[in-house]
Amino acid sequence: MNCELFQRHVGAFVDGELDAATAVEFERHLETCEPCLDHLEFEAATRDHVRESWEAPPTPEGLAERMCAALDAEDARQAEQAKPLVPIRWRIAVPLSAAAAVGIFVLAAVEADGRKTEAAALDVVRVHSAALPADVSVPVPVAMPVSMLAGQRVDEREEIARYFRGKVGFPVRPAEFAGREARLVGARLSNVRERQAAALYYDVGGQRVTVVVTDAPLENSAEAVEVEGRQLYFRNVGGYAVPVRQEEGIRYAFTGDLDRDQLLHLAASARVP
């Protein structure tokens, strides 16, 4: 956890929108970082001040009667057409001053899938940014020519695959990158939303790239793109590019210290044995 990542998502932390694992990482960071603790206190105080200062607008006169009349008229119209009557009048005793919240609820329902997948993509970025140590590492040979990096030994990839058996509900097969200076260096058990996931760490030309393997949906509302003949899904999250590939229902989400085009081509060139 670094200060930049914490301060970028401190609002979500204050509002309780982070998953449990991420919230724990934020709390641990606060134990040793006084500037971020000050930032958190300021953020929380600002929200409290806005909440205390906000006043609900007055309900327009006669709004309750007009709404009930319109809903009753629709019920009557459905009954006349012999349709199964599904009462649309909400007979719940809530103040009409909260009527605006109904519109917000409808909008939230329409956009729920998009927000969930964006939150899942944010988890992918979090895994990379946290740079936590690998649970299982691949030793670096004393000398390995660039031409051998893409053809890393099968037994090393199998060791990674075996580690995740029984830990996640799907097979984890580390990707290969033919013709590219990419080397698998380790892996870690992680999570995307409430699901267990595999985080695979790669060194690509001296830069860090993380490939998160998950069965969580990541393509909803993402931009569909075709690169090198491959169908990918793409979104920007927290300043990071996150291209996603699907292989037999499993998502491979890429992010790292490369630019958008480099990551897209890396994801398109990946081969899953």
Cα dihedral 34, 38, 40, 44 in deg (nearest 10): 150
**Band of pLDDT at residue 56, cut at 50, 70 and 90:** low
Residue 99 has pLDDT above 70, yes or no: no
Global confidence as pTM: 0.58
> What is the percentage of the chain residues whose pLDDT exceeds 90?
23
> What is the percentage of the chain residues whose pLDDT exceeds 70?
78
Q: What are phi and psi of 263, to 5 degrees?
A: -65, -40
Q: What is the mean pLDDT of residues 46-63?
A: 76
Tell me if 249 sits within 8 A of 215, measured CB to CB: yes
Q: 236-239: which pairs have CB atoms within 8 A and are 24 or more residues apart? A: 236/260, 237/118, 237/121, 237/122, 237/124, 237/125, 238/5, 238/8, 238/9, 238/122, 238/125, 238/129, 239/8
Instruction: List, for residues 223-258, the tens digit of each pLDDT value.
Output: 899 999 989 999 888 788 899 998 888 999 999 988
pLDDT recorded at residue 73: 82
Highest averaged pLDDT of the listed ranges 45-54, 117-126, 199-208: 199-208
Token duo for residue 43: 């953020």
pLDDT recorded at residue 12: 87
Residue 91 has pLDDT above 80, yes or no: no
Cα separation of 25 and 185, whole Å?
23
Residue 176 has pLDDT above 90, yes or no: no
